[in-house]
Structure 1
Amino acid sequence: MRRWQDISIRTKSVLLMGVMLVSMWTLVVLAMQQLRAFSGQSDVIMDEYMDITGFLDTFSAENVALEMYIRPTPSADALENYLAASQDTDRQLRELRPNWNQDLREEYLLKQAICNAMEHYRKSQAVLLSIEERENLIPQYLSLKTQSAYIDGYTRDLLHSRMVQGGEQWERIAAANARSNRQFFGFLAAATVLMGLVLLIFTRSILEPLTELGRAADRIGNGQYDAPPLAVCGSDELGRTARSFNLMQTEIRRTIHALEKQSEMEKHLLEKEVEAAQMQRTLQEGRFAQLQSQINPHFLFNTLSTIAALAREEGAPLSEDLILRLSSFFRYSLESDEKMVPLGREIQLLQDYMELQETRYGERITMEIRSDPKLEQVAVPKFILQPLVENSILHGLRTRPSGGHIRVWARRGRQGVTITVTDNGCGFDTGRQPAAGGGRRSVGLENIAERMELSGGRLKVFSRPGIGTVARIIVGGGEGND
């Protein structure tokens, strides 16, 4: 089992598929051999029947042609027809030649008697054909008829013997076929059990670890960083991915706990400041730095790069693309400590985020972005669009079975730049705003509102249960033009 877990997924798949193909083709070969054996034995019996009945038919046709020939006024081609019928009889007689190694003793003797009788019959026939006076044909014709009766009797005895022997052979063939059927069905049952074991091994070795990895990724996506680590079995691709995933989860959990403790300590120190102005200034700077400096994901970024490289080596382009987009999302946090960034960079970050969400939700949720290209260099606080779209998905659209839509519209009005984020979700009572992220730490509406006020802008939220939510960001203190 340990060696099996260390084998690569490609090798496992090839081995399991090989076992299934060998089992299937073995069944096919056994069935074809059984059919060929049955067909061969049947052909031998039928050939014997056809040889005997063929001789009877041609010899009977020869006798009819003889009767036509000895008539007082025969037709012009009577002799020619009689000679042709005799040739057909001789050709069929050659098929009945006795064979000591193959024929039974009784059949051998009957065939020998038929051949001897036909030899005398042909001599008498030659005498008949040499008679020129037609009135002298009758005595020789009667002699031929007598010999013909003996030959016909021998042939019918041979046919009867062949039928008796054929019946016995059919019984033996049926018994052998029944044994072959039992053997075939026994092997079929064994092959079925073997294929079931192959499918069980494939499920436990590959499908179940992949399913657990997907569930763990969903838990991370939902903010459950304290979930138990994945079980690591072997050193194949899944085992290495599980180790990297567990390491990434551990580092994220440690970083979040460290940030929580640091936040508590800073808050405790700020409360003890003597001077109110200095305390307010320090509090604002601390909040701004905390909100702008999201989790420092150096280790997470490196781990994602490693997993992307592994996915590329294993031939998984979709997984590689998703990991690279998530890596780009964290790279945005690492690029600089700027508090203000161009609007175009915020929109690019939002597009990467929605590409990741489309993998999870498919066509259930769509997003439309409309922005004047002239506004791409407008300075806005960092991380103001993605948290609004994330709240729309988590609290407004996640439970919708289909038809979820988010629209992001950036435009310049008479008094400034206005950015509107609209969704058609379930809405909420603005007096009881939900906590962002289902209980996990994230940039919520109050955080964005505080940062907009510090940068000279503002955030307004309009929502109605059952209809949807509109979040309006006004940059530079202007109301904009709705």
Structure 2
Amino acid sequence: MDITGKRRFHLNLFHRIFLFLIIFVLCIFLQLGISAYQVKAVMDPIQKSATNVQMISLLLNSVVQVRDALSSYRWDFGDAATLISTLRREKQAADHSLIRIDSSLASIGAEQYLLVSAVNNTYKNCSDFQVLLQDLLIKGDIDKASELYYTDLEPCLNHLYQYMQQLMERAIMDNQSTHDQLVQLNGRLNSLYTLMVVVMLVFGFATFMEIIRMLSIVQEMARSSKAITSGDYDGPEILEHRRDEIGDMARAFNEMKRAMKNQVQLLQANNEMAKEIYRKDTEALAMQNLLQQEKMQQLRSQINPHFLFNTINIIKYTAQEEHAEKTDALLSSLSRVFRYSLENNEVLVPVSREIRIVDEYYSLYKARFEEKISLKWNIDRSLVLTDTLVPSFFFQPLVENAFKHGLGPKEHAGTVSLSLTEEEGMLSVLVEDDGVGMDEDQLTKIRSRLLDPPMEGEHIGLYSVCARLKLIDDRCSFEVTSQQGRGTSIHIKMPLMIQDEEQEYD
């Protein structure tokens, strides 16, 4: 029976924390209530009593100032304007102090109340006499003014001074008595406040310990969950010794972990199989796209080059007959560019051949733009141009892009610089121009399109070079930087390939 009773009245974790929090919150509200009561029953009366004494003191001081000013005034030759100014200033201060003196019978007691009434009546008479005295002084009637002071105003001020002194003494005595009572009340309230703090701390600590016990299990679950996230299902299980909700949750978590382990192992096996199938499908699709592109390229290359060359030669001979030497030279350059583009089916070619085709292309551009454009080569002496290999038609699209988009829109002359260097087994190609450059939006757009190069549109030559680099080696890099008004640079890095390795890269 006892065991059954204990189980029946056992509080679970949630109920214990909830009860502790309720008591904790009640203690906080009781503390707030005690603090509010202290302010209302102790601090406010003390402040009010102190303010009342202060106002009485200020009023007494104003009365003394008026009495001293009048007693020291020389009626036969004194400065009436200064006296009037002093009287008015002190009357204003006295009026302000008198209004703020407590005159409630319930709060100040009968004796103070009678003294305050006497002060108010006497002060009113003194004020009336002061007004009459100021009028006489303004009119210059010194004799009547002095007579009014000695017969009426001076005795009235002396009575007012006596009443004020008595009121001050009474207020100080009453204030001391009230202060002692309020101090005793404040001490009892402080003791009750301290008790509430102790109770609050006890139940707050109890709540804290319950939460810590709960969080310790939650932390174990979190660590185990992180291990599960990383694929570790072999970690230690959470202890199940508790007989409350936390223990039930730990047992459920362990069961879930064992079930997930079996399920994840099955999913991983299926996922690996799906990845392998997807990889093979992707490779097959890429190969199919590449084959389609090669087929299209072969169809395009089936154009009979002899027709083009014969036509160019006819124009060339005509230019020679007409003694057009410049046109003859341009046609020769154009013929060599066409022959290189139509007959060159190799994937990799020597750098020397790429340099020659760029020079031919530059001569064509130079004939049109003359001194507006110039091309500058910077080639590392350690590079053997006839043995070093690059993709065919590799430099020409980069130079064309610089001429067309960099120097073309520029009003003044510009230069394209093409540098070739060797850096730790890598071939570094740097194409720079001092043209119009690009703003951040244009540069961002080009960089994003380089990640998935399109097959048509603006900058197609640039995208084509980038796409071909991706097919050569994973170590290849293609970086574009630009600053509007200052130019654009393209920095390419690719493995250094020598003539003997040509067959391998093909």
TM-score computed with the length of structure 2 as normaliser = 0.42
Larger Rg: 2
